[in-house]
Structure 1
Amino acid sequence: MKINHIASLVNFILISLIVLLGLQFQTQVGYAETNATSDNAKAQKQDNAQAQNQTETKPQPRLLVVPLDNRPANTYYPKKVGQAGGVEVILPPQNLINHQTASDTLDQLSAWILENSDDVDGFIISADMLTDGGLVDSRTSKQTTDGALQQLQIIKALKEKYPTKPLYVYDTIQRLAPTVLKDGNLEKYNLIRDWAITYDEVKNLNKISQTTKLIQLETKIGSNLIDEYKQIRARNNTINATLIDWTKQGYIDYLVLGQDDANQTGLHREEHENLIQKINSSNIQHKVSVFDGADEVDVILVSRFLSTLKNYQTSFKIHYLGVSGTEWISPFDHYTLQTNIAKHVIAAGGIIASPSQQANIEVYVNTPNTLAKNNDAMQNLLSTNIEKNDEATVSINDEVSQAVAEIKRQIANGKHVVFIDVEKVNQANQAYGDAIINDIGITNLLSYSAFNTAGNAIGTAIGHANSRFLYLEKGPQTPDIDERAAKGHIEFLLNSISSDHIYRNKVAPKTEWYVRYIGGNAWDIGPMKKSVLFFTNEQFNKEFDLLHAKVKGSKVLLSKKTGSTAEIENFSIQKIDMPWNRLFEIEFDFGVNLKDRNEK
């Protein structure tokens, strides 16, 4: 008893010390919310002043983006991708796009859009944000159909006021399950998702053998929750259909309907098919894209804006490192991988090159070795308990070595190369990730992504690659803007390799262990956020030194037209955060310094 008592006391002291260190770290290093806010405000003022000076020299295109929500994928990503392409992305204030935004702020958001509409050259608008305050609340019954349609009227108002400005809108086809923000939601998530799939298979696809399972699920879930779920789906489907009508009527220049996490069967399937039929019967296939994925759409439409601005269709050639995309449907998706890639490329303003054609951009896609691999990826998507890569995966085996050699050869021959990793949901292949840092060089790629689902990774990488390509090939403006665009490009590459590979494979498992150790919840770290961020920062810093050593001194192309280059002098981590107070999202913000600009 005495020994146990002493051990407990020692554990208590250790945990208390870590928490206190975390609090001290917050105050001294800048992770305290007050200091971070102050620093961010200063940085924003500097960015605004720099942008203003650049605009006075030669105006940059300005694009107003109303994002899906305030997660990094929908705010930081489009802003940095826009910067890499020479576009200034204007986002609403944080209080108007917070994922817990109250309904009375929706009118304030519309007012903000109108107030800033004169000063921009185009619009990207998330219907989910306009109607519900973001993706999470769009899956709830807080908003009525009539209320949602009323909030969307700002779209018509914008097009009537600015008929020549590009207006892109996107909406989600509702996923099969509710949002997971706490551990307690996991059972509800799995039950409703399973019911929605089983219901479609029994009622619409006549799989009678599943009837008993359907009855059991309905009994466990309850009729009230099922009825509410159906009503929410019906409301969101009405909004999808209305936006198609408005596209036909000319209020929307381009519409994306992103299928949120789904399956080959489920209640979404019939909705999806009916929407496609409506698009085809309206003869607006060239103005609407429907694909698997939602979080990447902001980046895709930034790319499309640049393609329209430059009047150029970038060509992409696809290479599979594993099973062919013609055969494989990735987890949570509806289309084959090849079809989903093509749909993203077209929405981004590009085209797919045939194997025999020359292409502007070479895209390498890491897929599973077999069709059966990773078909049941639910737990990997929901959990931060990342599975360990076995030795065969981590080691640089023959397949990885050959792929790395091929990519390096393409780069040496002056090709633009993109690497997309969709082998596993929400986790990069560690061997490829390490090879990109140590051998290929992350800054030698045009883009890299292993973000979340296959659709998310595809759209993020394609949108970023096309935006940067168009700037290099079509858009040099002034030396200052060239440098700012290059910094945005490198900072986004560093973010991608850090969040998708380093964090997921090397830091997140340790952070999850730490959260469990101090009695916390990986889906709600709020009360312990300061100490969790301190621990995460300490773990990431162990990997940062290697990344910095590999990237420092790398050459960066500023302008292909002038041939000017610069060298990466150094870079720093300006911010690490978990904006939704859960381990699932990590936000990195890097600051890059360049030197030795060389004009050829």
Structure 2
Amino acid sequence: MSADASSSGRGPRIALLPLDERPVNVRLPADVAAIAGASLALPPRETLPDLRKAGRADELGAWLEAASDAADALVVSTDMLCYGGLIAARTSADPLATALGRLEALRAIRERHPALPVAAVTLVMRASDSYNPQEEPDYWATHGRELHRLGAVHHRAFAGQTGADLAALEAGIPRDIRLDFERRRLRNHQINLHALSLAADGAIDPLLITADDTAEFAAGTMEQLWLTQWSRILPIPGQVLMYPGADEVGAVLVARQLALILDGTARFRVECADPAGLERIPNFENGPLRVAIDRQVRAAGAELVDDAGAMALLVHAPDSRRRDLCGHIPQFDGDDRNDAARTAELALRLLEGGRDVALADLRYSNGGDPLLIDALRERGILTRLAAYGGWNTAGNALGSVVAAAAATQVARGAGTYDAAAARRLLLHRLIEDWGYQSVVRRAYDAGLRSFDAPGEAAAARDVARELNALLAELAPGTTIDSVSFPWHRSFELDVTLTGATA
């Protein structure tokens, strides 16, 4: 979907200022809106970022204020509003005063439209455990992992733990690099604090404070402690939620605004064949999955209930060995096959009992469990799911499932449900999260290759052919019209499906 287009529909109109220009932040929220017959207004494509080229933050703020006049609700990324996108929030030299001035657009919108629902998300800046500078300042190529470790050591010291030699670690990172990085963190932390102030003033509700690529001990996790304390101290009239996630949040908040506009509340009962897995901390996250589930559901304006008639949020729990499908190919064993079979059998029992089932496939990072998909296909129930997600982090996959399933429930209650849109989204996530990330992507250095122009064109043709072969087995008559690589690398892709019907 073009970023300057709106999804068709006669229902509610939601204006979205996305986290960045990638399909998960633009297309996925539009697909969720379409389930309920809603349209999604997006900024003109030329104002959005292009990988490391920042979006036009001032123009984006002006667009948001103008869009608020015709919208039934807003969903806003503060990273886009303040800096021009996710990567710009980590790399730009914009001073704090400039970023704060842009954030004040939300207060101006509240003054113009006192009753307009405005939901916002602000990210805690990450420090990835890598030497990959594509999404970070250039010095990440030489000092990235040390900066990641430095945050963990500071956090442990803050918590009163001793161990690593902080002085030695700091001495190994040039002072100018440490100064630049920590100043960026401080600037972004002040933006997050100001977002809390706006929530206290009633300018935004809810405010989600999320974090991607974090860990139990990390700079971002320490900042979340400080933000949590301020969220408790300030008398905030609305809701503030803090949990792991990023790229799925736009879709989650679209689902929440749909629930508000259509006056409905989605209800989920968590089902899991491995209940102990709900207590595990997934890769790249800093708390138990059980807590993340609760907050993702609440963020979507939905409820967790103990009602055997509610839609089942079926969780394929994280792998206790914390394996990742990007970067290497795991050797599956008997335990893997047994766990996949247990989840598939539970899905079958739920469906045979008349339950709707939304499946969060969280066993591995960066791709759906191929053994689970095979087990579901053997039982003939894969395309009977209400929603599916298995991409990137547990938070990404979980949030996209909750968003689609919540929109489905609310739309059914309001009489605006578009079954064809729901099926297209289900097939899209299956063919991308399993078909590409777990199967086809293995040929491209397990998802870590960057492309030149000829290589990208050839890869797009090959991937389209392979995915169409898989799709023909899942949904005869449905085809992939186009494949592209948004950031010119094999890690993620965009596909367009045609012919998917209910």
Q: How high is the TM-score relative to the length of structure 1?
A: 0.77
Q: Separation in 2 of the partners of 1:331 and 1:223? A: 30
Deviation, structure 1 residue 500: 1.1
Q: Which amino acid aligns with 1:348?
A: A
Paired letter, 1:66: L
Number of aligned residue pairs? 498
Classify the secondary structure of the residue corresponding to 2:120. Answer: strand
CA contact (8 A) 1:577 1:588 kept: yes
Partner of 2:43: 92
* Alpha carbons of structure 1 residues 445 and 389: separation in structure 2 relative to 1, 3 Å: farther
Partner residue of 2:134? Answer: 181
Q: Deviations over 1:315-342 (max 9, x none)?
A: 2111223352553111221221101110
Contact preservation (8 Å) 2:264, 2:414: no
The aligned residue for residue 147 of structure 2 is 192
For 2:102, the equivalent position in structure 1 comes to 151
- Describe how 1:42-441 pairs up with structure 2 within 5 A: 51=8, 55=10, 60-100=11-51, 105-177=56-128, 180-181=133-134, 185=140, 188-201=143-156, 203-211=157-165, 214-284=166-236, 286-322=238-274, 324-354=276-306, 357-368=307-318, 370=320, 373-374=321-322, 380=324, 384-392=326-334, 397-441=337-381
Question: Which residue identity lines up with residue 142 of structure 1 in the other structure?
Answer: A
Structure 1 CA distance for aligned equivalents of residues 144 and 301 of structure 2: 35
Structure 1 residues without counterparts, runs of 5 or longer: 1-39, 516-520, 553-569, 596-600
Cα deviations across residues 133-179 of structure 1 (Å, max 9, x unaligned)? 11111012421110101111221121111111111111001112387
Q: 1:62–1:89: 8 Å Cα contact kept in structure 2? A: yes
> Partners in 1 of 2:25 and 2:110 — Cα distance?
23
How big is the shift at 1:447?
A: 0.9
Cα shift at 1:438:
4.5
Q: What SS class does the counterpart of residue 221 from structure 1 fall into? A: coil
Aligned residue for 2:357, secondary structure, equals: strand
Over the aligned positions, Cα root-mean-square deviation in angstroms equals 2.7
Instruction: Give the letter aligned to residue 295 of structure 1.
Output: D
> Letter of the aligned partner of 2:481 in structure 1?
Q
Matches within 5 A, 1:432-471: 432-471=372-411
Cα distance in 1 for residues equivalent to 2:72 and 2:493: 31
- Tell me if structure 1 keeps the 8 A contact 2:423–2:501: no
Q: 2:481 aligns with which of 553, 558, 574?
A: 574
Q: Which amino acid aligns with 2:462?
A: F
User: SS of the counterpart of 2:276?
Assistant: coil
Determine the C-alpha separation between the residues in 2 that align with 1:492 and 1:593: 9
Tell me the equivalent position of 2:414.
475
Displacement of 1:533 after TM fit?
A: 1.6
Residue 509 of structure 1 deviates from its aligned partner by: 0.9
Identity of aligned residues (%): 23
User: Is 1:510 aligned to 2:443, yes or no?
Assistant: yes
Residues 186, 362 of structure 1: alpha-carbon distance in 2 compared, 3 angstrom cutoff: farther
Is the 8 Å Cα contact of residues 316 and 359 (structure 1) preserved in structure 2? no
Residues 1:541 and 1:162: Cα distance change in structure 2 (over 3 Å): same
More divergent stretch after superposition (456-465 vs 303-312): 303-312
CA shift digits 1:216-248 (9 cap, x unpaired): 433333111111111111111111111111111
Which residue among 568, 585, 591 is the counterpart of 2:492?
585
Q: Give the deviation of 1:250 after TM superposition.
A: 1.2
Aligned partner of residue 444 in structure 2, secondary structure = helix
Distance 1:590 1:138, change over 3 A: same
- Please give the alpha-carbon distance, in whole angstroms, between the structure 2 residues aligned to 1:369 and 1:421: 11
SS at match of 1:425: coil
Pairing 1:531–2:471 present:
no
- Match of 2:109, SS state, is helix
Which structure's residues are more often helix, by fraction? 1
Moved more, 310-319 or 258-267: 310-319
Matched with 2:470 is 543
Question: Conserved in 2, the CA contact under 8 Å of 1:101 and 1:133?
Answer: no
Query: Which whole-Å CA distance do the structure 2 matches of 1:528 and 1:91 have between them?
Result: 31
Q: Which moved more, 1:93-102 or 1:151-160?
A: 93-102
Q: 2:498 & 2:340 partners in 1: Cα distance?
A: 31
TM normalised by structure 2 equals 0.91
Cα separation, partners in 2 of 1:180 and 1:524, compared to 1, 3 Å = farther
Aligned counterparts of 2:121 and 2:91: Cα–Cα separation in 1: 19
Report deviation, 1:96: 1.5
1:330 is paired with a residue whose SS is: coil
Which structure's CA Rg is the greater one? Answer: 1
